[in-house]
Amino acid sequence: MAETGKGVNAGKLASNVQKRITRAQEKMMQKLGKADETKDTAFEESVANFNKQMTEGTKLQRDLRAYLAAVKTMHESSKRLQDCLADMYEPDWFGKEEMDALAEDTDVIWDDFYQKLVDSALISMDTYMAQFPEIKARIAKRERKLVDFDSARHHFASIQKSKKKDEAKIAKPLALMEKAAPGWAQGIITAHQIAQTNLSRSQAEEELGKAQKVFEEISYDLQEELPTLWNSRVGFYVTTFQNVAGLEEKFHREMGKLNQNLFDIMTKLEEQRQANEAAANHNATAASESDTTTPASKLRLGPPVPRPPRPSPAKDAKTDIINLFEDAVVPDINVTTPSQTDTSATTPPNDATTVTNGSSDAEVPSGVAYKVKAMHDYAATDSDELDLKAGDIVLVLPFDNPDEQDEGWLLGVKESHWLVNKDLTAKGVFPENFTQRL
């Protein structure tokens, strides 16, 4: 027998071609309404559900793969970002070792998250979708066998109809045959016609039986499987998204801890920088204070530094008297400091306890935190600052907004102003280390 290809011979190929032709003819007859079509509404509904389920599953599979690709991309981006920070992080900065360990832990968490997504979501998704092509092929085969069944059914019906016509013809033979054949020959002809008709009918009936059996076997299996497959989608969706949600929750929880550690390291690094900068500014300010030409307006570039104390008022007074009467005989004047004089002695004009500068014994008004005493003069450089003279008593007030307070500066009102005006609104800022707390 001639071969047309591996495993396919000419007879098989001709049979397949004939089946396609017969099916095409049958479908055309059904569309034209000249042949009825076997209908199964319940099965058709199951097929519609199957197609919907397959479409939804295909979309879910595609989106899940896109999600995993995004996770991988985020992992790579995160790793590059961590590596960049680790490369820039200098050895003498705070938390260098912790920073390196944090980068390694971040990489491990990303790897674990991605791999578990693949194992618990993508693999099960692929397994779930793998069953659809095979079932789809069986549904298509059932449709072809249904056409074969309908075709065999219609052919058998046609044979049955032809048999009745032939029997009618045999019952009334043609006049020509009656004249041409002798009596004994007419019986043979009739028997041959009946045999041919019965043979065609038997073949048609046999083909119908085979077509019906094949169709029903395929149809029965699918009628059992399709509803079960349709109902399985709920459990599969639940499992898939529970796995994804659980893995995401764990991932973000662990990453949250690492991010908090990173935030803390950055905070302490900033504190280290500020401390170093403050120390540098302090040294620079101290050096500038030694230069008498440094303008007072530069005092606020860093924390205030006390100026050298002025000579005591008593020594200044003695010197002035000697200079004034240097040509005269002046008896020795016993000049003492304020703390050495009797309580009835006259207080020197520049003494800090005069009402001009305020009194440390005066009652503290409501809202005042405490009192300080100016130890050195301070000339205000801005409109929001207080001019201070050595000995001034200042009532210290809290800032309305603590964030507005500069390091090393206080807010207050001169006590002398309060004693005269009973008003705390004339307040200003001043350097804390120009004063002494009372």
**155 Cβ neighbours under 8 A, 6+ residues apart:** 204, 207, 208
Residue of 17 and 269 predicted with greater confidence: 269
Q: What is the mean pLDDT of residues 55-64?
A: 96
167-181, 271-285, 322-336 — which is least confidently predicted? Answer: 322-336
221-230, 273-282, 360-369, 392-401 — which is least confidently predicted? Answer: 360-369
Question: Of 280, 301, 317, which residue is a domain's last?
Answer: 280
> Domain span at residue 435?
352-438
DSSP-based three-state secondary structure for 394:
strand
361 band by pLDDT with thresholds 50, 70 and 90: low
| Interatomic CA distance for residues 307 and 107, integer angstroms | 56
Asked if residue 376 and residue 245 are part of one domain, the reply reads no
Backbone angles phi, psi at 77, to 5 degrees: -65, -40
Q: At what angle do helices 123-171 and 10-31 cross, to 10 degrees?
A: 80
Residue 215, pLDDT score: 81
Pure H helices in 32-40 = none
Match 């046999």 to its residue by tokens.
206
Model confidence at 309: pLDDT above 60: no
Residue 73, pLDDT score: 96
Asked if residue 382 and residue 264 are part of one domain, the reply reads no
**128 Cβ neighbours under 8 A, 6+ residues apart:** 57, 236
Residue of 248 and 5 predicted with greater confidence: 248
Flag whether 201 is in a domain. yes
Asked if residue 222 and residue 92 are part of one domain, the reply reads yes
Asked if residue 233 and residue 100 are part of one domain, the reply reads yes
Asked if residue 366 and residue 267 are part of one domain, the reply reads no
Asked if residue 272 and residue 369 are part of one domain, the reply reads no
Flag whether 133 is in a domain. yes
Asked if residue 246 and residue 108 are part of one domain, the reply reads yes
Q: What is the mean pLDDT of residues 96-117?
A: 94
Flag whether 265 is in a domain. yes
Distance from first CA to last CA of the chain, Å, rounded? 123
Task: With CA atoms as reference, report the closest residue to 417 among 395, 398, 390.
Answer: 395
Within its chain, how far is the Cα of 153 from the centroid?
62
178-187, 206-215, 390-399, 411-420 — which is least confidently predicted? Answer: 178-187
Element (H, E) at 217: helix 183-289
2-16, 62-76, 123-137, 410-424 — which is least confidently predicted? Answer: 2-16
Residue 306, pLDDT score: 46
* Six-digit token string for 411: 């807010």
Residue of 344 and 190 predicted with greater confidence: 190
362 band by pLDDT with thresholds 50, 70 and 90: low
Flag whether 4 is in a domain. no
Question: Of 280, 314, 329, which residue is a domain's last?
Answer: 280
Flag whether 316 is in a domain. no
Residue 119, pLDDT score: 94
For 123-136, the pLDDT digits (tens) are: 999 999 999 999 99
Asked if residue 229 and residue 145 are part of one domain, the reply reads yes
Residue 382, pLDDT score: 87
* Six-digit token string for 227: 């509803």
Q: At what angle do helices 96-117 and 183-289 cross, to 10 degrees?
A: 170
For 145-199, the pLDDT digits (tens) are: 888 877 777 877 777 776 665 555 555 554 455 555 555 444 544 544 555 556 6
Asked if residue 356 and residue 230 are part of one domain, the reply reads no
Residue of 341 and 22 predicted with greater confidence: 22
> Is the four-CA dihedral 383, 389, 390, 394 of positive or negative sign?
negative
Q: Radius of gyration (Cα) for the chain, nearest Å?
A: 55
Pairing of strands 393-397, 370-374: antiparallel
Question: Of 280, 308, 328, which residue is a domain's last?
Answer: 280
Q: How far is CA 73 from CA 66, 111, 253, in A?
A: 10, 12, 20
Asked if residue 202 and residue 85 are part of one domain, the reply reads yes
| Interatomic CA distance for residues 58 and 71, integer angstroms | 20
| Interatomic CA distance for residues 113 and 106, integer angstroms | 11
Flag whether 105 is in a domain. yes
Q: How many residues does the chain have?
A: 438
- This prediction has a pTM of 0.51
Asked if residue 172 and residue 83 are part of one domain, the reply reads yes
The DSSP symbol for 301 reads G
* Six-digit token string for 249: 């929750």
Residue of 325 and 102 predicted with greater confidence: 102
Asked if residue 202 and residue 121 are part of one domain, the reply reads yes
Residue of 232 and 288 predicted with greater confidence: 232
214-228, 229-243, 324-338 — which is least confidently predicted? Answer: 324-338
Residue 207, pLDDT score: 81
* Six-digit token string for 419: 């004693």
Of 187-191, 248-252, 296-300, 328-332, where does the model show the most confidence?
248-252
Q: What is the mean pLDDT of residues 304-310?
A: 44
Flag whether 242 is in a domain. yes
Residue 242, pLDDT score: 96
CB burial of residue 69 (10 Å; 0-12, 13-18, 19+): exposed
Pure H helices in 89-121 = 96-117
30 band by pLDDT with thresholds 50, 70 and 90: low
For 259-271, the pLDDT digits (tens) are: 999 999 999 999 9
| Interatomic CA distance for residues 174 and 194, integer angstroms | 16
Total number of domains in the chain: 2
Residue of 47 and 196 predicted with greater confidence: 47
* Six-digit token string for 98: 């912790």
Q: What is the side-by-side strand order in the sheet with 435-437?
A: 428-431, 409-414, 393-397, 370-374, 435-437
Residue of 398 and 291 predicted with greater confidence: 398
Flag whether 307 is in a domain. no
Beta carbons within 10 angstroms of residue 393's beta carbon: 24
**Domain containing 178 — which CATH number?**
1.20.1270.60
